[in-house]
Chains A and B, each alone.
Chain A
Amino acid sequence: MVVDGLLYTKDHEWTKVEGEVATIGITDHAQEQLGELVFVELPEVGKEFAAHKEIAVVESSKAAGDVYCPVAGKVTEINDELNTRPELINEDCYEGGWICKVQITDKAPLDDLMDAAQYKEFLETL
């Protein structure tokens, strides 16, 4: 499942840009590949990340994957609920399973992201 209106990376992160704030999560494809999540390592609020840096780790019983920050920014909010219910990402990756929000410091990397149609096309090539 791919949702319109979001931007996507080749590493299967999605981001929703609202003004200066980007919300970040992993896509349905990513959660399906990982299987049921058992742990999400969330970033610290206030920490700054350059674009493409590892901002979180998602872990299932069989695999662990890094979540890369699609933009440059400073973490303003994290989804605390994932600490106790990491499976939220499996159940609802685009809404309840969001990972964190960042205050964007550099918008340029957004230009490299795919829109929903492009990401759908990208998935077909895998």
Chain B
Amino acid sequence: MPFIPNTDQQQQEMLKAIGLTMEGLFGDIPAELMAKSFDLPAGLSEQEVRSRLADLAGKNSVDLTLFLGGGFYDHFIPSAIYSIISRSEFYTAYTPYQPELSQGTLQAIYEYQSAICRLTDMEVSNASLYDGGTAMYEAMMMALRITGRNKVIIDDSVNPIYRVMIESYTRNLKIDLDETHCVNGLANRAEILGRLDDQTAAIIVQNPNFFGCIDDVTDLAEAAHAKGALLIVSCYPISLGILKTPGAMGADIVTGEGQSLGMPMSFGGPYLGFMAARKQHVRRMPGRVVGETTDREGRRAFVLTLQAREQHIRRDKATSNICSNEALCALTALVYLSLLGKEGLKETAQRCADKASYAYQRLTAIPDVQPHFRAKWFFNEFVLDLPCEAADVIAKLIEKGFAAGFPLSRYYEGMENSMLICVTEKRTKQEIGMLAEALESVL
């Protein structure tokens, strides 16, 4: 049997030592509770399973040229990442409960926390959460705990996928969730300020927002603080290679999806939720945290810390029910950030912006193709208005080999003709040119 080493003879020896038969070992399960059915297929060999899965992989279209983003991005992944994260000392380990045996994971998480703080200009970071959406939800819950209030304002320029997640998570809780409507590609100041009051726990915004527009939310941080509320900013970590940081804007909690930091898209996961915050809120921050200390000989050592707040000790009073992080994904992000380094991340971000602006020029030069938002700055995504239904155009472009963008009508009323286009550093000038020709030909 694969992966089960004990031979029949060994099993017999062990049963003898125990003094029971194999049936006897399961004798504590009442007979009427034994499985009524267990109708699974017979096992496959490695060769068979690889061949079957290769066939299934072949039924997925991964040869399309991707201009599809929407919070999940096709960035270049350096080879060294896979070599490092494939070291089984990392990936076959569990949560570092025994620090003497886990200094590798612990130091890597400490370095990850440091890298996230440096990237976002914040003071503390946790060891990671499941994904960008759950990170945003956890940030919201954290703000409710910090302020003791129950009202949250979220602008609809925040990724709609995260907004539906937050809506799902809060259905059973007494939270007053108020959605404002983006104007001219930016979070709606008038609506947000109109609703902000002394019961508001947090304002949630995103930068660059779902439409790719760059939104300096410094004013919202000031407004929130004046009312004793917090500002939560979700961000795209690659963009922080060049863009003004949420820390510099005055954000209190920063979250985001870390997939772009060296993780493949993998049809939706595993991904990486990151969270950073101001130091004074560290004890209200959910998730694992690694801290530096010393061992008995005074050597530098790392341990899980602030564990007293966690579910296995606090049970129903825990800061969150989450007990795992996405350690291997956090490691991936850390390796990515150290391979790119200070200059490499900046260049990658600049390259994304350059290619997007080139694509913007090429595509808006097509007759009847118009930018949706005028005179606004964007990072590597932008919205185009077409003379016809965007979903239809995108479907036609798939036949020409492009995943050309995302039809915004799926989440936004009145945007039937609008599509969101994403350009990463991986797209070439030639591919952009071909997209422009293909788009023009189907209009």
Contacts and interface: CB of A to CB of B under 8 A. Distances in A.
A and B touch in the complex (CB under 8 A): yes
Interface of A: 39, 41, 59-64, 66
B429 interface: no
Interface of B: 283, 305, 307-309, 313-314, 317
Given A62-B313, A63-B313, A64-B314, A41 B283 contact: yes
19 contacts: A39-B283, A41-B283, A59-B283, A59-B308, A59-B309, A60-B308, A61-B305, A61-B307, A61-B308, A62-B307, A62-B308, A62-B313, A63-B308, A63-B313, A64-B308, A64-B309, A64-B313, A64-B314, A66-B317
Contacts of B309: 59, 64
Contacts of B317: 66
A64 B283 CA distance: 11
A66 B309 CA distance: 11
Contacts of A39: 283
Most chain B beta-carbon contacts within 10 A, residue among A41, A60, A62, A64: A64
A66 B317 CA distance: 10
Nearest to B317: A66
Nearest to A64: B308
Contacts of B283: 39, 41, 59
Contacts of A61: 305, 307-308
Contacts of A59: 283, 308-309
Contacts of B307: 61-62
B27 to A, nearest CB: 38
Nearest to B304: A61
Contacts of A60: 308
A55 B305 CA distance: 24
B203 to A, nearest CB: 23
A80 to B, nearest CB: 16
A66 B11 CA distance: 50
A12 to B, nearest CB: 17
A55 to B, nearest CB: 14
